[in-house]
Structure 1
Amino acid sequence: MPTGNADEGLAVLQENAQELLDGLEEDSTGLGDALSTTVTLAQAHCLMDPRAAIFPTWDAWVTAMQVGSAVFATATATEGNVQCRIAHKDRTLRATGPQWYVHPGAWLTAFYLAVACREKDRITALCRIPLSLLRENGEQFEEHEYAWIDTLQTYWLGGQDLVAKLVSAVDGTEPEAVFDREAVSKLVYPPMEMFHRFIRKDHEGFNRALAQALELHKQYWSEEDRAVSIAGLVALAPLAMVCLAHDAGIPIEVESEYLPAVLIKRNWCGEFPT
């Protein structure tokens, strides 16, 4: 990806993100746009700082994580206000109930961000979000997405039938069951395989699955029409799986600029109130 105008691009993204964040107390339904913009900003920081070694990068990741949590904190409330800390400020947001942006993709993004930032309370809150809420946005999503979310929620909360739910999620990614076969095979299935190796405590298998996931991520985002997309700078789902594995004591033997090393090692955690 070209880096010549990176600083200018970051400045524009930062300005756009700040404008969206500043408007949330007046109109909390701006959280959908705020989530996509702050995630883009967090990933964009990794263009020049792929290890996430400097404070502004960590700050951007935390802000994105906070917005992801706020999406679901406000969506689960149907009246009144919700207090959310976002970008170093306690904000009073209005309850939104179900919205167009409250869907499986947003939940997974929020979950992956919370895992990368090691926000256990926020992860728990996300894992208590009923799947029924994610079906109320009026759009049609594929069943493997709901099955994958069910798997992650079950794992984190210590529920029953974890393996059966993972099998259901994996089965839902079969080519005949999905619309976008390339995206599912290269971006959606690989983290599931990593998770499978993780819960089996298969250290070698996990690292093999990680290497394969990164290779497929690279293939997908190297296509000509995607090669300059900021969304490809960080392999977010594999990053979350790596953070889970790292914290469980699995040695991570694969290094990649798609995986910010400082996020994996938790170096910035606790730096400021989140």
Structure 2
Amino acid sequence: MTLLVPRHELPADLGSRAVELDKSAARNVERLESSPAGFRLAFGTALLAAFTHCGEDPRAVGLATWEAWVTATQVGSALFATSTATTGTVKCRITDEVRVIPATGPQYHSNAENWNNAFWLAIACGEPDRMTALARVPLELLRASGAEYDAYVYPWIATLQTWWLGGGELGGLLDAAIAGTDPEGLEGDDRDLMLRVLHPPMNLFLNYLTGDHARFNEALAQALQWHKEYWTRADGGAAAGNASSFVALAPLAMACLARDAGFPLTVESEYLPKHLVARSWVGEFDTIST
């Protein structure tokens, strides 16, 4: 039996929003070769464009939706490719062009939050080479961004990197990450964010690692319900129109991993665009060659 987790009501003008965000993302990408400091804006805009397309096209049926997701993935990967290099230039394919972007070394935008989003995008778009490149980004570079995060963030990233590269024991790292997301002792918005948004992907990942299909599906349904509750409760529901609410990005990445591993997924939701989970677009055209 399939469990459906319905999405909250979205604004009516998402089609026009998506078009404008595509234009803005394209302008920001064009500037990167002369001003790589613009990666922060370029990645943020591309990510919002991808989410907004899925708001309008919740099953990710349309080519424009896939192109927006590919662009966001390419920008996220390029952000870290240029940040890990300290001299010269880096060739990065973004949209249908190879861009020659100056190396920057660590920047504020090469932070843990952007790393997580870039990694989730690479998973969702079926890009293992990008996952490998991101998994090799040193934690020291993320810390050097100067952005401050809760203590659990770096063990969580280390868990994902170690898992993907197959380089060591995950138990201690994952335990430390999960312990750091314990909502006990937190209050108000911080507790709500931790309980409903930040902790669920770790629980999903644990069930993915153990191969427990039933628990994974239970955790996926709960993660989507909590995602919905978080965005509709925040600011009295005003945040429900935020494009970040349109797709549950981290649970989507976990659902893609589970599907690739042969898990029978018994949960469906517009928060998990069907054709991203099913890999319907992967391989339709080259997205990575330089």
TM-score of the superposed pair, with normalisation by structure 1: 0.97
Unaligned runs of 5+ in 1: none
Residue type at the aligned position of 1:219: E
Question: CA–CA distance in 2 between the matches of 1:200 and 1:134?
Answer: 29
Question: CA–CA distance in 2 between the matches of 1:30 and 1:112?
Answer: 21
**1:178-193 superposed matches below 5 A:** 180-193=190-203
Residue type at the aligned position of 1:245: A
Residue among 76, 81, 88 paired with 1:73 = 81
Paired residue for 1:46?
A: 54
> In the TM superposition, what whole-angstrom CA distance separates every residue of 1:118-169 from its partner, at most 9, and x where no partner exists?
1111100100111111101122211111111011011101122212211110
Mapped pair 1:116 → 2:116: no
Question: CA–CA distance in 1 between the matches of 2:171 and 2:245?
Answer: 30
Question: CA–CA distance in 1 between the matches of 2:184 and 2:88?
Answer: 44
Q: Is the 8 A contact 1:46 1:57 kept in 2?
A: yes
Shift of 1:7: 2.5
After TM superposition, the structure 1 stretch with the greater mean CA deviation from structure 2, 2-11 or 125-134, is 2-11
Residue type at the aligned position of 2:284: E
TM-score of the superposed pair, with normalisation by structure 2: 0.92
Mapped pair 1:250 → 2:260: no
Paired residue for 2:215?
A: 205
Secondary structure of the residue that 2:93 maps to in structure 1? strand
Q: Is the 8 A contact 1:170 1:192 kept in 2?
A: yes
Q: Is the 8 A contact 1:3 1:48 kept in 2?
A: no
> In the TM superposition, what whole-angstrom CA distance separates every residue of 1:24-80 from its partner, at most 9, and x where no partner exists?
111111111111100000000011210101111000000000000001000000110
Secondary structure of the residue that 1:156 maps to in structure 2? helix
Greater than 4 Å deviation, 4+ residue runs: 176-179
Residue type at the aligned position of 1:256: S
Mapped pair 1:163 → 2:171: yes
> In the TM superposition, what whole-angstrom CA distance separates every residue of 1:67-117 from its partner, at most 9, and x where no partner exists?
000010000001100000001110001101111111110000000000001
Mapped pair 1:145 → 2:153: yes
Q: Which one has more relative contact order, counting CA pairs under 8 Å at least 6 apart?
A: 2
Question: CA–CA distance in 1 between the matches of 2:14 and 2:279?
Answer: 26
Q: Is the 8 A contact 1:114 1:123 kept in 2?
A: yes
Q: Is the 8 A contact 1:142 1:178 kept in 2?
A: no
**1:5-84 superposed matches below 5 A:** 5-84=13-92
Question: CA–CA distance in 2 between the matches of 1:272 and 1:142?
Answer: 39
Shift of 1:178: 6.4
Unaligned runs of 5+ in 2: 1-8
Paired residue for 1:269?
A: 282
Q: Is the 8 A contact 2:15 2:53 kept in 1?
A: no
Secondary structure of the residue that 2:238 maps to in structure 1? coil
Secondary structure of the residue that 1:226 maps to in structure 2? helix
Question: CA–CA distance in 1 between the matches of 2:232 and 2:91?
Answer: 41
Q: Is the 8 A contact 2:31 2:38 kept in 1?
A: yes
Paired residue for 2:3?
A: none
**How many residues of Structure 1 are paired with residues of Structure 2 in the alignment?**
274
Question: CA–CA distance in 2 between the matches of 1:178 and 1:160?
Answer: 32
Q: Is the 8 A contact 2:10 2:55 kept in 1?
A: no
> In the TM superposition, what whole-angstrom CA distance separates every residue of 1:7-26 from its partner, at most 9, and x where no partner exists?
22122211211110111111
Question: CA–CA distance in 1 between the matches of 2:43 and 2:283?
Answer: 22
Secondary structure of the residue that 1:255 maps to in structure 2? strand
Q: Is the 8 A contact 2:58 2:273 kept in 1?
A: yes
Identity of aligned residues (%): 48
Residue type at the aligned position of 1:192: M
Mapped pair 1:230 → 2:243: yes
> In the TM superposition, what whole-angstrom CA distance separates every residue of 1:204-255 from its partner, at most 9, and x where no partner exists?
0000000000010000011213111111000000000011110001111100
